[in-house]
Structure 1
Amino acid sequence: MTAARRPRAWRAATAAVLCAAVLAALGVWQLERRAWKHSLIAAVDARVHAAPVPAPGPTAWNGISAAQDAYRPIRIAGRFLHDRETLVQAVTERGGGYWVLTPLKTPDFTVLVNRGFVPPDRRDPATRPQTSDNRIVTTTGLLRVSEPGGGFLRTNDPAANRWYSRDVTAIAAARGLGSVAPYFIDADATPNPGGYPVGGLTVVRFTDNHLLYALTWFTLAGLALWAAARMIRRDDTPA
């Protein structure tokens, strides 16, 4: 190699080594994420199978977090405000349709309850009149954190009454609900009168591709080091 090309080759080799360091760091980060995800999965699995506890009231709302409370079984009693239900688009094991979110009013506060799934032909409350009673009911389900904004590439449109995510704050404002819990409840599979909505369809699943991502980053780091070694060897080869 000529003297003019040698500095250029060493600069390229140095850049390749730095790139390998960054890629390796990304691999380590993915391994750390994998350990965190496995810890989360174990915690949620233990939480889901615990006995239901009373739904958190206003004094506990500031301390609620997804890490500590998501998917915790809770129980609450109150009256459903059926005239203020909200339909949120959903795709479930039963196909496409809607989640039926109905406010449940207690003496102290109101909480949104995802009472379950209805297919498009049950969207109109008139097709499920058994759900219009005003008696006091006890609901058991999983605590879920709010889903602000909307769905993938689709934004909630309160003015048009189009909902793609269970955004507690936006739904409460659109329905004039006042003081509402900062979470909603996914109702369990206890059958509703008339069969709809269908509860108990919560999917508790977490993606866990971190090992694959880590191996990809480490492979790319190895290729960058291999490229750096080739450039150095070529530089050391007599002209």
Structure 2
Amino acid sequence: MAEVARGGRRSVRPALSAALLLVVLAILLTLGTWQMQRLAWKDKLLADIAERHAQAPVELAAIESMWRGGGDVEYRPVILKGTFEHDKERHFFATWNGQSGYHVYTPLRLTDGRHVFVNRGFVPFERKDAETRKGGEISGEQQVVGLARARLDGKPSSLVPDNDLAKNVFYWKDLDAMASSTGIAPENLVPFFVDADNAPNPGGLPVGGVTQFDLPNNHLQYALTWYGLAAALLGVSGINFWRSRRR
């Protein structure tokens, strides 16, 4: 009886090993395929961004019409006119060219009384206070050329710190909080941002044209890693099977 029991255990072990091998192999292949799908999505996204960036800017009304129709306004060139309200600027923590600092989001008041939050560009950490860069606070009606940027539906990750409204430091672009903290009513707010282009600022700061176009695209590398692990697993399993057969 003992010999029968041992024989039964020996016959079960290969079956369990084969089942485990198939499960792990399926997981690795699934992860590799998912990364290939992400690669196709990222390639299309980068192509769309490049195509939109090359287009001529259109009036703000055209971008708003697209947004109301459910269209994607991201990275679409836009031209708008208004007056900056520098006393209401909001500061988004950012790095640029190896420096830590802030992107300055300033409400642009349009002729119809509504506001657009414009990312005017980067200022170093020590120049956060607008008093240190008064020369860059241009007055009067201005024409702004830039790119429309969609608002976020919510905090992008639990790892991102909460916005510090008391210190006017934002770690994620909460358009509603930016508006409410400056007293701008929701009905007077254009529902997306605009990143200003790199037109020279007479005061030097903020430095415009900070929109990031080179989005990370490592999906092919990740896919090859998962597929490589799957191939290695098959190779090692095949060698072990061959050795066991010889024994």
TM-score tier, shorter chain, comes to 0.7 to 0.9
Q: Secondary structure at the match of 1:141?
A: strand
Q: Which amino acid aligns with 2:220?
A: L
Q: CA deviation at 1:199?
A: 0.5
Q: Which moved more, 1:42-51 or 1:22-31?
A: 22-31
Change (3 A) 1:69 1:119: same
Contact 1:10 1:232 in 2 (8 A): no
Matches for 1:1-239 after TM superposition, within 5 Å: 2-56=7-61, 59-63=65-69, 68-93=72-97, 95-106=99-110, 107=112, 109-132=114-137, 134-147=139-152, 148-149=154-155, 153-178=160-185, 179-230=188-239, 232-233=241-242, 236=245
Q: Does the CA-based 8 Å contact 2:67-2:73 persist in structure 1? A: no
For residues 144 and 23 of structure 1, what CA distance do their matches in structure 2 show? 36
Question: Per-residue CA shift, 1:104-159, capped at 9, x if unaligned?
Answer: 11116311001111123432222222344541111011111235437854221223
Q: Which consecutive unaligned segments of at least 5 residues does structure 1 have?
A: none
Cα gap change, 1:159 to 1:77, in 2 (>3 Å): same
Distance 1:7 1:229, change over 3 A: farther
Compared CA separation, residues 126 and 217, structure 1 to 2 (3 A): same
Would you say the 8 A contact 1:26–1:217 is kept in 2? yes
Give how far 1:236 is off: 4.7
1:199 match: secondary structure: coil
Provide TM-score, normalisation by structure 1: 0.86
C-alpha spacing 1:229/1:136, structure 2 compared with 1 (3 Å): same
Q: Partner letter of residue 155 of structure 2?
A: G
Counterpart for residue 3 of structure 2: none
Give me the whole-angstrom Cα distance separating, in 2, the residues matched to 1:217 and 1:133: 53
1:16 is paired with a residue whose SS is helix
Whether the 8 Å CA contact 1:188–1:199 is kept in 2: the answer is: yes
Q: Unmatched 5+ residue regions in structure 2?
A: 1-5
Separation in structure 1 between the aligned mates of residue 182 and residue 67 of structure 2, nearest angstrom: 21
> How many equivalent residue pairs?
236
Per-residue CA deviation, residues 60-100 of structure 1 (Å, 9 max, x unaligned), is 434456xx321111111111111111122221016121111
**Secondary structure of 1:97's match?**
strand
* SS of equivalent to 1:158: coil
C-alpha RMSD over aligned residues: 2.5
Q: TM-score under structure 2 normalisation?
A: 0.84
Cα deviation code 1:177-222 (max 9, x no counterpart): 1132222111111122312211012221111111111111112212
In 2 relative to 1, CA 173–101 (structure 1 residues): closer, same or farther, beyond 3 Å? same
Detail structure 1 runs of 4+ shifted over 6 Å in the superposition. Answer: none
SS at match of 1:214: helix
Aligned residues with identical type, % of pairs: 37
Tell me, yes or no, if the aligned pair for 1:9 and 1:232 is still in contact at 8 Å.
no
Tell me which of the two structures has the higher relative contact order, counting C-alpha pairs closer than 8 angstroms and 6 or more residues apart.
Answer: 1
